[in-house]
A and B are shown apart, each in its own frame.
Chain A
């Protein structure tokens, strides 16, 4: 197992290295550069100013030279400066990574807390009114645009009822928890439908298997059959989906972060890409890549725990 983990971590580093070049090249292919954005803000910028600024920021160099300069500095621990935030890139990203992990972690836990019991309950009552209600809830969550849902929550709970703040992150533990609730609910409602549907389908498949009939015939309790036998097998495809979801959440929380003013990775990466902040965009996307790869590694390890037949 230890050797497997080391091997996967080594693969992760290789993937990150390749991705660093791909991302840098893709950003370089985008039309315009930061100087073009400055020109639009100030039509009095002269050609000399433009040339001077391009030389100052190294934008007159070929993209391969710029990438090589970045790589050699990064290998020495210098990940460069964020032009947009006027700070070292890691100083910008670490707090935002923490904010994203907090928000995603809460949404993830809440999604599972709802999806697992609801999916199991629906799978044990297929075709019933309860199953229909659960499905309706799931489809509503999948169908409702996250942007609209976020605004609706703000209008209802912040503007009309005044129970929660409309946006921001707050200061201190309780204030932050107070600010965290609405964006967590928005993110959860957007995700829980899909997870719930997978749990329900996997459970229904598992409950049809011979070993479940055997377990019932042996006189095991309903709870033991569901949780100890069926759920464990049903969770394997669900774990796959959750791992993929983790990666999407980092960038997909962009809308939620923007609407609620939650300073997370999604919004930061978006702003960095649009603002042509090479260093920040590159590191942000590499962080997101690393999180996705890590989530998949955890999923693979979870398979081994769920299914004793799997070993590394």
Chain B
């Protein structure tokens, strides 16, 4: 996220989701759609159907060394991205593209091998062909070790945004200055320095001492630190809290006989006072999640089963599931075994540890003995979660994009097989109708029909509860009073993509 935040000052994707969560052109002239004719279905050699999407770059786009940014750069970027040895992390977007056809210096057609709902989203990073092609052609396998982005990061030819990187001290700070060749809206500030401060207490001290002007919500303080800072210095800064796409939740291991029972999962949902967690721990800034889609997402629906805090209903459900009141207030089953569950999360994450303690107290009232077992993040994610080695519950977060189809986390084909195959369906959830909905919605282009598919998916999700939704994590921004124009998005596209809208206002106006 830190890299994306900084890169966005000096580089731009072709399309983005804006602060309003709608897809829009950033450096293209018009968003191509089937309706406006800039996207057209086309037959594929194998008899299938693909799509050809035409983009036109804005006039005047120039790399900061004066070279024009053209369609050839886009085509080259695709060639590098799809090469198996180039080191590209996720090659999905590149592999789906059959060709990037150059029409002229500013217009190109992307031929994709399938028609999916996100056919016109183009977030592929653009590489400067005039600098990178010689490096890539010398040795594609070594390209990732010799790319100018790492070997010569202050080369102006790498940047085409309102700023360019002029100095970098790795691990300490990066300096950006105005790009003299930027033809878009002129940014207000001559120079922006992004400092790396890895300790949040030191970050706060730097802010209070005036060493830094602001703390970005994308990568800065945790919610409780921001709330505490606001309590101590309410008038000194401007605080923005934007609930985003980081979905904090508890995944159940559906192979476990206790939590594989949906009645038990529902009881736990009713027994957890999630509203109190949001209000008491987060000052209401991190709203309760009802399922895995954010309320700002176009496909969100509230027409799902809700689980308000209702300990009496929770007790009845546990009774129904065969867990009757036992000694010391802990429920037992017919064999006398206590209802003892474990919850795991990342050790040292104060927020999560606080939430665990609240849940422990809530669930004790309905007769559940909750044991907290936490691990360092690299053990938790590297082994426990990946191999599905937790007993009952694992608490962590997923990050997604607007309208991201949850194939990896909910499709039955994505259950890890223990041999490196599968995806991130760590709960082991398997539902035929869910699979059908996921397969359909990837190909459904009609927005209304897509929304209907999503709504059904969310109703199943809320009914089956493969995971217990907790809350949407907020990004806390701490801004100086004289700075306006920073508009948090809440999704993965950072605020720096609109840095040219940031402006200084006179004292008293902030």
Contacts and interface: CB of A to CB of B under 8 A. Distances in A.
Interface in A242-297: 258-261, 263, 267-268, 274, 276
Interface string A22-45: 000000001111001111111111
A241 to B, nearest CB: 29
Given A36-B381, A159-B205, A263 B89 contact: no
A67 interface: no
B202 A259 contact: yes
A261 B172 contact: yes
Contacts of A49: 89-92
A167 interface: yes
A51 B208 CA distance: 46
A32 B382 contact: yes
Interface in B126-156: 144-145, 149-150
A21 to B, nearest CB: 22
A44 B404 contact: yes
Interface stretch (A79-87, A120-128, A298-306): A79-87
A154 interface: yes
A158 B173 CA distance: 19
Contact of A30 (B171, B382, B408, B423): B382
Nearest to A168: B172
B382 A33 contact: yes
A65 to B, nearest CB: 18
Contact of A86 (B84, B145, B408): B145
B421 interface: yes
Contact of B211 (A53, A87, A168, A259): A168
A158 B209 contact: yes
A167 B202 contact: yes
A162 interface: yes
Contacts of B196: 261
B98 interface: no
Contact of A162 (B169, B170, B172, B209): B209
A290 to B, nearest CB: 22
Nearest to B1: A41
Residue from the set A31, A38, A260, A263 with the largest chain B CB neighbour count within 10 Å: A31
A166 B381 contact: no
A47 B378 contact: no
Interface residues of B, number: 47
A263 B420 contact: no
Chain A contact residues: helix, strand, loop or mixed: helix
Contacts of B386: 32, 36, 39
A127 to B, nearest CB: 41
A50 B382 CA distance: 13
Contacts of B90: 42, 44-46, 49
Of A37, A53, A168, most buried by chain B (CB within 10 Å of CB) is A168
Given A42-B90, A44-B404, A168-B211, A52 B84 contact: yes
A52 B422 CA distance: 14
Nearest to A255: B199
Given A43-B398, A81-B145, A166-B202, A50 B420 contact: yes
Contacts of B378: 30-32, 36-37, 274, 276
Nearest to B376: A274
A194 B366 CA distance: 52
Contacts of B197: 167, 261
Contacts of A42: 89-90
Contacts of B206: 158, 166-167
A44 B91 contact: no
B424 interface: yes
A256 to B, nearest CB: 11
B379 interface: yes
B403 to A, nearest CB: 13
B91 A31 contact: no
A169 B172 contact: yes
Nearest to A47: B421
A151 interface: yes
Contacts of A268: 171
A43 B423 CA distance: 8
B296 interface: no
A236 B404 CA distance: 67
Interface of A: 30-33, 36-54, 56, 81, 85-87, 92, 151, 154-155, 158-159, 162, 165-169, 258-261, 263, 267-268, 274, 276
